[in-house]
Amino acid sequence: MNYDLAIIGGGPAGYTAAELAGKNGLRTVLFEKNNLGGVCLNEGCIPTKTLLYSAKVYQSAKDSAKYGVSCENVAFDLSKIIARKNKTVRKLVAGVRTKMTEAGVEAVNGNAIIQAKGEGEKAKDALSVECNGQVYTAEKLLLCTGSETVIPPIPGLKETGFWTHREALDNKEIPESLAIIGGGVIGVEFASFFNTLGSKVIVVEMLDEILPGMDKALSGFLRNELTKKGIEFHTGAKVTAVNQDKVEIEKNGEKQQIEASKILLSVGRKPVLSGFGLENLNLEIHKNGLKVNEYMQTSNPDVYACGDSTGFSLLAHTAVREAEVAVAHLLGKNEKMSYKAIPGVVYTNPEIAGVGETEETLQAKNIPYTVKQLPLTYSGRFVAENEQGNGVCKILENTDGTVQGVHIAGNPASELIVIAGIALEKGMKAEELKAIIFPHPTVGEIIKETL
């Protein structure tokens, strides 16, 4: 069977590319060894946000008296929270499957193995992939193989029944105490969830602040807010050993021991580059991922790579745009991938989000800038909906007034950051963005007020 495009990996990059290619007339086959939707839909973005929303609703019910509403005997049912999460995932996976059918994409469930160039006269210039005993050939190949959890060589870790995000998503009971190794986005989001539902949570981060890559001041703001809720943070701390219910750390030259009934490992992810015959293509590697150009082509122009497999921006929304660029290039449209306005969001309560440059990146590049900053309480809508809530909007401009970065702490930062992303992508100046009419009252007005 010969196709115009074969795609390995059915996550956000893979299914986005498949749908676009199919709808534009390309004969497309999509291989996924697990469930369509990939890690993001099945065990990442969607299930974690579903759990976090349940926790947020629970917290809102507990705090309802602040808004003049009485809720007595507020409680949660973890089994029902998990069941709702599973229902949400099944519904969305079914939606992806429907999209593939409507686009005329052949979706194959199985482990695809690249066999390099096909054999025979008709397939001499085609790439060959084997799956479930069947050989498929295609003119072009797109690799969307995703990423996997990093398991560091911490002494005692292999002998300990630790959690990764997978086990945490399907837990049957809330642990009395939880030690989280890693203060990145995944670790902090799980910290927020389990803390809200009653666990004593301790987060250990090797760097001097949580959420590396986010604006450092806002990361500190969130850490302070979560500390008020009872989460304990150990930053600048290295984990030296794990022993069942104990985590040994070294901080400021001193050793400490943290006891917890459960340990969650969340120190990062790495591209999946093995298990699908990649060695048969002899592609160039950059750092820890596949090297690609601005059209998402690898060192073999017939082979493209998108999403976490490139090791550049391990975010679902980045993967989606990369897939759009790759398919556009296949269709003869020379759209180029831009990374200057990739939003980052932490879906805790409160949320934080940022896009573009941070003060740290501008300082590293020796780029002069100015900071404009206001509390979210300058927004009437925020005050009306957040009793005793805190937040901040921070905007970075360069010397000619062009917006360089926007960082927001407070709900709903994840939605507001879209406005900032558009401004950055279009190279808008502060005066141009300030001239936009924002509806009143909205929390989004804080961007205009800050400018």
Give Cβ neighbours of residue 395 (< 8 Å, ≥ 6 apart): 371, 372, 373, 403, 405, 406, 407, 420, 430, 447, 450, 451
346: nearest Cα among 246, 238, 225, 247: 225
Which residue among the candidates 165, 234, 286, 440 is catalytic per the annotation? 440
Backbone angles phi, psi at 57, to 5 degrees: -65, -45
Residue type, 266: S
Active-site residue, 440 included: yes
DSSP code per residue over 170-185:
T-SS--SEEEEE--SH
Measure Cα distances from 348 to 4, 245, 263, 388 in Å.
42, 26, 20, 17
Task: Name beta bridge partners: 373.
Answer: 394
Q: What are phi and psi of 422, to 5 degrees?
A: -65, -45
Let me know: does 301 contact 295? Beta carbons within 8 Å: no
Burial of residue 197 (number of CB atoms within 10 Å: 0-12, 13-18, 19+): middle
Residue 186: name the closest of 168, 159, 206 by CA: 168
**Residue 14 tokens, joined:** 């893979």
d(CA 201, CA 199): 6
Active site residues: 440
